[in-house]
Structure 1
Amino acid sequence: MTVELVRANAQDADVLFAARVSTKGEQSLEDVDADASKSAGLINYLMRDRHGSPFEHNSMTFYVQAPIFVFREFMRHRIASYNEESGRYRNLRPVFYTPAPERKLVQVGKPGAYSFEDGTAEQHALADAEIRSSCTHAYEAYRRMLDAGIAREVARAVLPVNTYSSMYVTMNARALMNFLSLRTTREGTHFPSFPQREIEMVAEQMEDEWANLMPLTYAAFNKNGRVAP
């Protein structure tokens, strides 16, 4: 999975001036470039008591490369702006996702109460071989249709959802916290989540970028159980 932070207007001070306008009005303009480290307590208070709107006055744009099935999960979060590459307008590349050896393969339990365990060497070999074979045949069919003059938007129908795509996603810190609370597994969270590993791999990289941009907000998020305010 590839995640790159391509543009950001996000810092802890953004939370402060947005929050203080409620009590200081025009004087809150003095806090636009304030030293946020002196107001870590205010950020923690806002997070703890779930005063969420001050965390929205910032923006981060990420470039993400991941399998299509990851994007379908990602775009269920209707709290961001998305632009994805189009199989209608460009030939899709023969790049497909296969699970790495450390990817847990075996589901134990029922939906809503299950966990994943390591697969055997034989199961990993089978999964790898079958996925590669299926993708090879699918892409060959895709190329045959394109070569025959069939439109891209029709030919792409044979490609599997583990085909890699790319997109830009733009969101603010509040939206990102909501995403992280649902798409990462962490000790100490108030509401445990059990995301599919592939989208968690994307979320972890986004989290690392955000932690560097807004360290005080990030610390408050973790201190208060990783619950989006």
Structure 2
Amino acid sequence: MPLTHDQQAEIDETRAETRQTLRATSEGMEAHLYRAHPVLDHGFVRVIDYMGDDAAITQAARVSYGRGTKSVQNDEGLIRYLMRHWHSTPFEMCEVKLHVKLPVFVARQWIRHRTANVNEYSARYSILDREFYTPAPEQLAAQSKQNNQGRGTVLEGEEAARVLELLKSGADRAYDSYEAMLDQGDQQGLARELARMALPASIYTQWYWKVDLHNLFHFLRLRADPHAQYEIRVYAEAISACVADWVPLAWGAFEEYRLGGATLSASALDCVRRMLKGEEVTQETSGMSKREWGEFREVIG
């Protein structure tokens, strides 16, 4: 379970507290505040705090004194214009702080996005729990033959059982060694900052991750993509659900122009224009490599 009974009780108690405020609030995001959205087998995503809403984006774009226009239609049109023309600063006026529990190997992939403020649970000061990510059977896949950083066919039968047992037993043995080395009780063992070296990358860690909406959209564009690794993609999908309720107008524009859109190179755009004129364009006459031509054909269907 992602949360213990005591942790859930603490969340319920916090959610029961209400405070009056003059700042802009988002009803959609208020519903997500503090709630833990389960991800994978032991992980979660939890909204701790946020700043701004759709009106904050348009307010910053217009540099107005109040909340901007009262017309939702005008605000939506402006937000779509900003997104369409890659104006990023107004989206930086919104921020969100998340509490995330995730496997270490996912955290190491996630931290490559160097556009957020992060504070991670410290294994130098605290002892990590015996919680490891164990893939579901449908996620046990072989290495892709075409993609060096992707998955191929799903393992089945005895091979799947063998790999699953290796993952589980290896993690348990590593944690047993970790516990045996710790300086605790009557045992003068190893310092926690050294003992943690024995822990596997599948163990869970936690952090607070604070990011503005512009950089969050960039993160989601990459990590919510169907080609992203499953274990980080499910976190991106959980965050996406929160963002869609927080800033629905900005999310709609993001879906339209980023998630659902495509960027064409100068050569690709030239090919489209030639095709519209009735010219038959091939990979040989396109000026593109075979791989780029294949990607182009996939985009235009």
Q: TM over 0.5, yes or no?
A: yes
Distance 2:156 2:206 in 1: 32
2:198 alignment partner AA: V
Q: 1:198 aligned to 218, 224, 231, which one?
A: 231
Is contact 1:82-1:170 (8 Å) kept? yes
Is contact 2:141-2:151 (8 Å) kept? no
Is contact 1:145-1:155 (8 Å) kept? yes
Larger relative contact order (CA 8 Å, sep ≥ 6) = 1
1:79 alignment partner AA: T
Q: 2:85 aligned to 49, 66, 76, which one?
A: 49
Q: Deviations over 1:47-68 (max 9, x none)?
A: 0011111100011011111100
Aligned to 1:24: none
Distance 1:153 1:185 in 2: 36
Distance 1:144 1:165 in 2: 20
Q: 2:247 aligned to 202, 207, 214, which one?
A: 214
Alpha-carbon shift at residue 19 of structure 1 (Å): 0.6
Distance 1:120 1:212 in 2: 39
Matched residues, number: 214
Aligned to 1:190: none
Alpha-carbon shift at residue 97 of structure 1 (Å): 0.7
Higher alpha-carbon Rg:
2
Alpha-carbon shift at residue 35 of structure 1 (Å): 5.3
TM-score normalised according to structure 1 size: 0.87
Alpha-carbon shift at residue 172 of structure 1 (Å): 1.1
Aligned to 2:214: 174
Distance 1:83 1:119 in 2: 37
Q: Deviations over 1:8-65 (max 9, x none)?
A: 11310111011112xxxxxx11235855454201100100011111100011011111
Is contact 1:60-1:170 (8 Å) kept? yes
Alpha-carbon shift at residue 124 of structure 1 (Å): 2.5
2:52 corresponds to 1:10 = yes
Aligned to 1:90: 126
2:190 corresponds to 1:157 = no
In angstroms, what is the RMSD of aligned CA positions?
1.9
Give the gaps of 5 or more residues in structure 2.
1-38, 262-301
Aligned to 2:161: 125
Distance 1:136 1:48, change over 3 A: same
Alpha-carbon shift at residue 7 of structure 1 (Å): 1.0
SS of corresponding position for 1:30:
coil
TM-score normalised according to structure 2 size: 0.67
Aligned to 2:257: 224
Distance 1:123 1:34, change over 3 A: farther
Is contact 1:84-1:168 (8 Å) kept? yes
Aligned to 2:31: none
Query: Percent of pairs identical after alignment?
Result: 35
Give the gaps of 5 or more residues in structure 1.
22-27, 187-193
Aligned to 2:288: none
What pairs with 1:73-152 in structure 2 (closer than 5 Å)?
73-111=109-147, 115-146=151-182, 147-152=187-192
